[in-house]
Structure 1
Amino acid sequence: MGKHAAELFDVVVIGAGVVGCAVARRFTLEGARVLLLEKGADILSGASKGNSAILHTGFDAPPGSLEVACMQAGYEEYMTIAPNMNLAILETGAVVAAWNDEEVAKLDGIEAQARQNGVSDVRRVTRGEILRREPHINPVVKAGLFVPREHVIDPWSAPLGYLTQAVQNGAEAVFGAEVTAAARIGNEWQIHTTKGEFHASFVINCAGLFGDEVERAFMGTASFQIRPRKGQFVVFDKPAASLIRTILLPVPTERTKGVVVVRTAFGNVLVGPTAEEQEDRVHAGVDEATLNGLVAKAAELVPGLANIPVNAIYAGLRPATEKKEYRVHMDGERGYIALGGIRSTGLTAALGLAQHAFRLFGSAGVRQRPPANPVWPQMPNLSEHRERDWERPGDNEIVCHCELVTRREIEAALEGSVPARDFGGLRRRTRACMGRCQGFYCSARVAEITAGRFENPLSVGVSHE
């Protein structure tokens, strides 16, 4: 039995991906006594760690859907809270680029859908306008649709900020706590995990790639089926950032939004994702043929990328289901909400989904008042377009020279309200070992600094997540 065994929480959130972190934050700020349970060693251990980091307007989401409503509510809340939490926004805008007559013919429909979704500042742009804005892209581009408020964010600092604010305002989080069984006894849930037993009036399932299995554990059956969809990405080295300043979006197909070319907040250029169905919910492997295809596609769209080395390759899994829409529902009598099937738009929609979940929940289940003066944590900046820690005064030993990560940043990531609990978590908090050498030169120093901190210690030659 852990220290929480006898405590009755208002809400237990299952899963510390971006949605779970946002939900924990919202319910805490509304006054609920919140516990977050995550089976991984750290936040973002599942689907949330691999995405394209775009803050979407919802211009191309299904009109009238919960998805577009949550995306737009999430977008607005992010823009509101980002200055208070020192969260980055790289203002890029986006162009839906049409490369042939068939794609040009689809632009009117995309524009009409955007306006139906309330994104009224979209506008058609000519080939000449696109080339003036992006002189390095392939001049065969024919036309496009400019979406000025599509931007890029740091996809890891944002959810870390959400959970940090939740914890600093009274929430608790337990890691390595995989749900093994659950039972509804009277008006409360008895939740058995690998870290002990917990009790809650309400449960919110934000388990991502395992959302259907978690629902089955709580409800006996699952109302949706997770069908993992893999997306592979390539990351070009930092000189690539001079070749593009606007997100390049393809004209989407029925099945996928297609391959995107986007500057990252970290000074690289990202190309991807693919859309590949698979059964495995844990392992997202990369393959040479697909990655070569992404590199070739990138060079086709932005020819100068052919001369830029690839910095990194990775793959992420999206928790798609047998239907396209979000799988959100509530059983009020049994105290259960599912936020399932949240795919590539989850980074943007997370704050909106948290708002929606609280509306479903209702304030009747909150036993205490919201904090009168909530704590607003200041998140460290990893974005290249803003001042980095290495530029500040003090003893700034540079540990990772590719990404200019200081010892001070690494030590700070190992402390605090939500400290890094494994190597992957440390990398996402600092970008150490994520540069062009992928830790070849700095792994030994990082291992020294983190000695005794992780359950699985870092050693030179470690396989990087």
Structure 2
Amino acid sequence: MTETSFPPKTQIFDAAVIGAGIVGCAIARRLVLDGLRVVVLERAPDILDGASKANSAILHTGFDAPPGSLELDCIRRGHEEYLEIRDRMNLPLDRCGALVLAWDEAQEAKLPELVAQAEENGVTDTRMLSRAELLAAEPGLAPGIRAGFRVPGESLIDPWSAPHAYLLQALENGASLLRGCAVTGGGFDGTAWRLETTRGALRATHVVNAAGLHGDRLDRLLHGESRFEIRPRKGQFVVFDKTAARLARHILLPVPTATTKGIVVCRTIWGNLLVGPTAEEQADRDTAALVPETLEMLVAKGAEILPALAGEEITTVYAGLRPATEEKPYRVETWPGRNAVTAGGIRSTGLSAALGLARHVSGLLAAGGTPLPDPAWPVMPMLAEDGPRDWQCPGNGGILCHCELVTRREVDQALSGPLAARSLAGLKRRTRATMGRCQGFYCSAALAEASAGRLARPMTGPAGIPADGGHDD
């Protein structure tokens, strides 16, 4: 089945995964590798368009996860599997480590408890550092730093090439993807599900709800009830220019609170430096509005931690929503007798936990299948700042986006194949085009020409002006 077609009424999939965010992509991959016929349904024009489009891009070890929790188990297993597959899929990894920093007496008093928690969670290589040792490790820290500890295993990754790789592997091994396909209803007849969608009806023996910010609504639609309530939590970020990356060698973490991991300062895999996120509850599930006063607070907070940031240019700001619920734990629910699993409430650690969560969901689903003996393995384009890039290779068609050194060949490849970009946001996530210093000012015309007729919404309007200034995030 091609993506533009719809499955015949006689076809019954082994599993339908609803939602193509990070978690849904990982689950689809695992089910396909387990030998199931899988269809992925995504209501947006492209994948990763909900909570997954904005995060801190950190691969966590689980050192501060609740001991004994499903979240901890999934993070540890996900972290381990990412390290196992990343070379084969050409996924980047910056093993920079993290520093947990205490700035006052109360925070300093919590450090031994956090180190003990890390030990209990199996992260045994942490080390307490004195003020002098912290300043030696991070000379740019403000002089008010008191103490902290290092977590060597915390790393930086590309938050979008990883889930793209997961879903692409599923597609290359037989999965089907339907984008622009919202689920509008469904029912289980004791043997299989009939799902009603905006593109027609299809059947699947098992269903996985990975709908993120709309997970509770989907449960009510399919099961008549939801066992949790999504309470969207907005996170705003400030991204500084690449010249600022020299100011931080580690991921700089605050002492966490009961409700949030707090504001992080770290480099990105693409050579920038970011500060964020905030943690703001709101009712709106679809719009993460930027608030100037909050962004100013983030800039000031960054300068409190790294004073030299005060003199650095800001490249961009962005915001995203996390699918928090009324309770902190993951809300992974089975529906006995209905061949269904819900993976809900996957908040800020979803990127790290996705692969582990996929294995857990597969076990809960118990859909059978014979594992693929020799699956295809996609190789992803390298976008990391310090990796071998396409602009360095011959025959690349020239550079279209000079800020991020994106070539014509990279754009063409992102617009083709089984997981071709169908939106400008999707093209950006696959290539980094328009994400640099000029934010698309110089490259939008070339990108509009290259993507003509290939996006769900063209980059240019009737007057030839880039829609939304070249942005649709």
TM-score (norm 2): 0.96
Q: CA deviation at 1:101?
A: 1.3
The one of 62, 71, 80 equivalent to 1:67 is 71
Q: Kindly indicate whether residue 192 of structure 2 is the aligned counterpart of residue 191 of structure 1.
A: no
Is the 1:93–1:147 Cα contact (8 Å) retained in structure 2?
yes
Amino acid across the alignment from 1:41: P
Superimposed CA distance per residue, residues 217-268 of structure 1 (whole angstroms, 9 cap, x where no aligned partner): 1111111100000000000000001111100000111221110001000000
Is the 1:5–1:196 Cα contact (8 Å) retained in structure 2?
no
SS of the equivalent of 2:239 reads: strand
CA RMSD for the aligned pairs?
1.0
Is the 2:241–2:314 Cα contact (8 Å) retained in structure 1?
yes
Spell out the pairing of 1:54-453 with structure 2 (5 A cutoff).
54-362=58-366, 365-367=367-369, 369-453=370-454
Q: In structure 1, how many angstroms separate the alpha carbons of the residues matched to 2:262 and 2:8?
A: 45
Is the 1:10–1:366 Cα contact (8 Å) retained in structure 2?
no
Q: In structure 1, how many angstroms separate the alpha carbons of the residues matched to 2:368 and 2:415?
A: 33
Q: In structure 2, how many angstroms separate the alpha carbons of the residues matched to 1:249 and 1:5?
A: 52
SS of the equivalent of 1:311 reads: strand
Q: CA deviation at 1:17?
A: 0.2
SS of the equivalent of 1:89 reads: coil
Change (3 A) 1:4 1:297: farther
Q: CA deviation at 1:173?
A: 0.7
Amino acid across the alignment from 1:366: G
Q: In structure 1, how many angstroms separate the alpha carbons of the residues matched to 2:104 and 2:65?
A: 23
Q: CA deviation at 1:4?
A: 3.8
Q: CA deviation at 1:394?
A: 2.1
Superimposed CA distance per residue, residues 183-238 of structure 1 (whole angstroms, 9 cap, x where no aligned partner): 11231000000111110111000000000011111111111100000000000000
Is the 2:7–2:202 Cα contact (8 Å) retained in structure 1?
no
Alignment size in residue pairs: 462
Amino acid across the alignment from 1:40: A
Could you tell which deviates more after superposition, 281-290 or 451-460?
451-460
Q: CA deviation at 1:320?
A: 0.3
Query: Which blocks of at least 5 consecutive residues in structure 1 are unaligned?
Result: none
Q: In structure 1, how many angstroms separate the alpha carbons of the residues matched to 2:296 and 2:287?
A: 20
Q: CA deviation at 1:136?
A: 1.1
* Structure-2 residue corresponding to 1:6: 10
Q: CA deviation at 1:396?
A: 4.0
Q: In structure 2, how many angstroms separate the alpha carbons of the residues matched to 1:277 and 1:461?
A: 33
Q: CA deviation at 1:145?
A: 1.1
Q: CA deviation at 1:377?
A: 0.4
SS of the equivalent of 2:467 reads: coil
Superimposed CA distance per residue, residues 146-180 of structure 1 (whole angstroms, 9 cap, x where no aligned partner): 00000000000000000000000111110011010
Amino acid across the alignment from 1:201: T
Q: In structure 2, how many angstroms separate the alpha carbons of the residues matched to 1:170 and 1:205?
A: 20
Amino acid across the alignment from 1:447: A
Change (3 A) 1:395 1:381: closer
Q: Kindly indicate whether residue 466 of structure 2 is the aligned counterpart of residue 461 of structure 1.
A: yes
Q: CA deviation at 1:130?
A: 1.1
SS of the equivalent of 1:24 reads: helix
Q: In structure 2, how many angstroms separate the alpha carbons of the residues matched to 1:193 and 1:104?
A: 53
Q: In structure 1, how many angstroms separate the alpha carbons of the residues matched to 2:44 and 2:109?
A: 46
The one of 2, 20, 37 equivalent to 1:33 is 37
Q: In structure 2, how many angstroms separate the alpha carbons of the residues matched to 1:224 and 1:373?
A: 39
TM-score (norm 1): 0.98
Q: CA deviation at 1:417?
A: 2.0
Q: In structure 2, how many angstroms separate the alpha carbons of the residues matched to 1:186 and 1:331?
A: 12
Q: In structure 2, how many angstroms separate the alpha carbons of the residues matched to 1:234 and 1:321?
A: 25
Superimposed CA distance per residue, residues 263-307 of structure 1 (whole angstroms, 9 cap, x where no aligned partner): 000000011000001000000010110000000000110011111
Q: In structure 1, how many angstroms separate the alpha carbons of the residues matched to 2:450 and 2:257?
A: 47
Q: In structure 2, how many angstroms separate the alpha carbons of the residues matched to 1:151 and 1:356?
A: 23
